[in-house]
Amino acid sequence: MSEAAFAALRQRGVNPDIGYALVLGTGLGQLADSVETPVAVAYADLPDFPKAGVSGHAGQLVIGRLEGVRIALMQGRAHYYERGEAAVMAGAIETLAKLGAHTLILTNAAGSLHTEWHPGSLALVSDHINFAGTNPLIGATDDSRFVTMNNAYDQRLRLRMKRAAVASSISLHEGVYMWFSGPSFETPAEIRMAKIVGADLVGMSTVPETILGRRHGLRVVALSVITNYAAGIAGGQPSHRETKETALSGAIGLRRLVRTFLRMKDE
């Protein structure tokens, strides 16, 4: 699926020596500005890459060096709700794996189910609940579709991210992310249900990329910028405008956290 995109990147002089891949969510694309000796390629020029159609997503792949490591950053993702395709990121994730990535760092904008987890703060995803009712591996025919989801969000990477948060003087929550299909926001009744089943965060992304990444053997760690209180929590009235605006302020801490994380080693 990703051979054409991989070939297109090789023609641009990109070597398959990427260690880390990072997917930047809504309003979080500025981290790519810090990449040294960047090679930027629009998704439109990469076969099998998503055609991002959401404001707040630049829609390009940036490859270079950050904090001394080779990294590929996706400035924006495509979502299930755009075309009803859970596997819309399949080609991109496979290409990142072919480029040599061993670690997939996912970021997103999420709604908080806790009044003390305020907008602008950061959260580490410990696990997820797939409430969207679909899966990006539906239709796959080989045995790689039967992906084990134990430790989907790698425990050692989460410990490393927590150490990075302490080193960066950043408060970092940790909890379960619940995937809703979108594009409409959740109802107060859905949020009450989400709390009952153990969710701490809600959002419209990340879970498909995690499943796809695990299929290719990538270690996954995911961070949420909390952009709003979910419906019915502390008077929350979520909107896409609020999501974009708050993500921009929360991105300052996220950039610092990710850069510290990249400088560290697993324990």
151-168: per-residue pLDDT in tens?
999 999 999 999 999 999
What is the CATH classification number for the domain harbouring 100? 3.40.50.1580
Number of domains in the chain: 1
pLDDT digits (tens, 9 = 90+) for 99-122: 999 999 999 999 999 999 999 999
Cα dist from 73 to 114, 116, 163, 235, whole Å:
30, 31, 22, 35
pLDDT in the model for residue 14: 87
Tokens (6 digits) for 255: 């950039």
- Nearest CA-CA partner of 98 in 7, 199, 224: 7
Q: How far apart are CA 10 and CA 207, in angstroms?
A: 29
DSSP 199: -
pLDDT digits (tens, 9 = 90+) for 46-76: 988 987 555 555 789 999 999 999 999 999 8
Task: State the pLDDT confidence band at 174, using cuts at 50, 70 and 90.
Answer: very high
pLDDT in the model for residue 54: 56
219-229/122-130 β-pairing? antiparallel
Query: If DSSP states are collapsed to H, E and C, what string results for 161-183?
Result: HHHHHHHCCCCEEEEEEEECCCC
pLDDT in the model for residue 198: 98
- Nearest CA-CA partner of 167 in 267, 37, 237: 267
User: Counting beta carbons within 10 angstroms of the beta carbon of residue 122, is it exposed (0 to 12), middle (13 to 18) or buried (19 or more)?
Assistant: buried
Question: Are 230 and 117 within 8 A, CB to CB?
Answer: no
Domain membership of residue 10 as a residue range: 3-263
Check pLDDT > 80 for residue 243.
no
Amino acid present at 10:
R
Please tell me whether the overall predicted TM-score, pTM, comes out greater than 0.85 for this model.
yes
Q: How far apart are CA 12 and CA 207, in angstroms?
A: 31
What is the share, in percent, of the chain residues with pLDDT greater than 90? 74
